[in-house]
Amino acid sequence: MLVVAALLNGCGSGASAATQAGVTLNSFSIKLDQASLPAGMVRFNATNAANVKHELVLLRTDAPDDKLPVSADGEASENGKVGEIEEFAGPNVTRSHTFALTSGHYVLICNISGHYQQGMHVGFSVQ
Ligand SMILES: [Cu+2]
């Protein structure tokens, strides 16, 4: 776990060179402040506007953001998962994480049971 923490911290310290992307989590929607992002290091600043827990899962997938398979327990498929910001409660609390993105199509979802189906998904491209 110490190694993992050190790697995560290393990611964070490179934030000054990363593209900044603003994400707003609400009940029940996800908004991204841009439709496409440049390849490379991208820092997602996710603000939970709601007073209940949400999370942010990043997937690299060709599937449209509203067409992911959903299991009987109400969770969307996480095929192509790049990483996540674990669930946290708002309102107006921001958590950030930096991911290395290559070109392609990506989807952001909240995969707390039922939240995806209620509309917590957004797609974007990386070029
Ligand atoms: Cu949620």
Contact 82, 58 (CB under 8 A): yes
Q: How far apart are CA 125 and CA 116, in angstroms?
A: 19
C-alpha 55 – ligand 1 centre gap (Å): 6
pLDDT confidence of residue 3: 53
How many CA atoms lie less than 13 Å away from 51 in the CB half-sphere?
A: 0
Average per-residue pLDDT for the chain: 91
57 Cα–ligand 1 center, Å: 10
Provide the sign of the torsion angle of the four alpha carbons 92, 94, 38, 61, taken in this order: negative
Global pTM value:
0.87
Question: Is the CB of residue 108 less than 8 Å from the CB of residue 23?
Answer: yes
Question: What's the pLDDT score for residue 117?
Answer: 98
pLDDT of residue 7: 52
Could you tell me which of 80, 14, 64 has the C-alpha nearest to residue 42? 14
For residue 64, the CA-to-ligand 1 centroid distance in Å is 19
Residue 8: predicted pLDDT? 53
The predicted pLDDT at position 15 comes to: 45
Using 50 as the pLDDT threshold, list the residues of the chain that sit under it: 1, 5-6, 10, 12-15
CA–centroid distance, 122 to ligand 1, in Å, is 13
Query: How far apart, in whole angstroms, are the C-alpha atoms of residue 108 and residue 59?
Result: 6
Ligand 1 center–CA 1 separation, angstroms: 27
CA of 71 to the centre of ligand 1 (A): 16
3-state SS class at 10: helix
